[in-house]
Amino acid sequence: MRRPDPLERGRFSDGSREYVVCASSLSAPDSFQVWVSGNRADIVMVVSGLNSRDLHATWGEEWRTRSVEWREWARTCAFHVFHNGSVTTRAGIRHCDG
């Protein structure tokens, strides 16, 4: 059995993909990453500046061309997961209660 990643904060889904949110460190992380579950190389976004409150999201190549609405939804879900844990979803429905 694989041990859980201690930096993983949780997951969320858009109904077709699951995304993993992972902190940069265990203590006072200054950033977090979001990637597609099962493929750590498929970076969706990196949010930096958590400690300085000078937040900046950098989007992965495939993801920066998504609609403004989708990126805002993903960013909202990622922040919710980073602070509160996984978001529950219903199949086929993009949902985030953040």
Instruction: Note down pLDDT in tens along the chain; length 98 residues.
Output: 556 788 999 999 998 999 999 999 999 999 999 999 989 999 999 999 999 999 999 999 999 999 999 999 999 999 999 999 877 554 333 445 44
Instruction: Spell out the domain ranges in the chain.
Output: 8-84
Its pTM stands at: 0.82
Tell me, what's the pLDDT at 92? 39
Tell me, what's the pLDDT at 6? 87
DSSP strand E in 14-93: where?
18-23, 31-36, 39-48, 56-59
Q: How many angstroms separate the CA atoms of 90 and 13, rounded?
A: 9
Tell me, what's the pLDDT at 3? 65
Tell me, what's the pLDDT at 86? 78
Contact predicate 13/27, CB 8 Å = no
Nearest of 15, 22, 12 to residue 76 by alpha carbon: 12
Tell me, what's the pLDDT at 90? 43
The secondary structure of residue 81, as a DSSP letter, is: H
